[in-house]
Amino acid sequence: MAKVPTPEQVESMMVEKMGELPESLNSAKAMDPRFLVEQAMSSKFSVQDENNPFDPKTSMLLALAVALTKGSEECMREQTKMLKKMGVTKEELSFLVRIVKHSNSSSLMGNAKSIFDTFLS
């Protein structure tokens, strides 16, 4: 069984990867340093999983799309920094925004179905 890293080890790895620990994780660390380990383990079993069928850049683009949908400024900023290091292009980011915009618009129409159906019945 793999040894679970310490919060200090996780923080060091995150700072190496991202340049700094995101503000939210600094706050979480102040409350309970084990949050850093939980965050790292979540990443290990999703984005970084060896069975992940997506390459790292695609995985990060998916994560950015979710952050954009959720409106998470900090996540968008950190993921964009990492994607920039991975060589993402402005065209790729522009299309990501267009796809998310379309998906949100389509979702809104699906949500409005009950309004339309109720009014027309």
The tens place of each residue's pLDDT in the chain, 121 residues long, gives: 668 889 999 999 889 888 888 899 989 999 999 999 998 888 888 888 899 999 999 999 999 999 999 999 999 999 999 999 999 999 999 999 999 999 998 888 889 999 999 999 9
What is the structure's pLDDT at 2?
Answer: 64
- How far CA 97 is from CA of 23, 47, 57, 67, 68, in Å, comes to 24, 20, 16, 11, 8
What is the structure's pLDDT at 1?
Answer: 60
Spatial distance between the Cα atoms of 74 and 80, rounded to a whole number of angstroms: 10
What the block records as the tokens of 75 is 């996540």
Taking alpha carbons only, the member of 37, 26, 27 closest to residue 3 is: 37
Pick the CATH number of 53-121 from 3.40.640.10, 3.40.50.720, 1.20.1290.10, 3.40.50.300: 1.20.1290.10
What's the chain's Rg over C-alpha atoms?
18
Sorted by sequence, the CB contacts under 8 Å of residue 41 that are 6+ apart come out as 4
Residue ranges of domains in the chain: 1-45, 53-121
What is the structure's pLDDT at 46?
Answer: 86
- How far CA 82 is from CA of 26, 30, 112, 113, 114, in Å, comes to 18, 24, 36, 38, 40
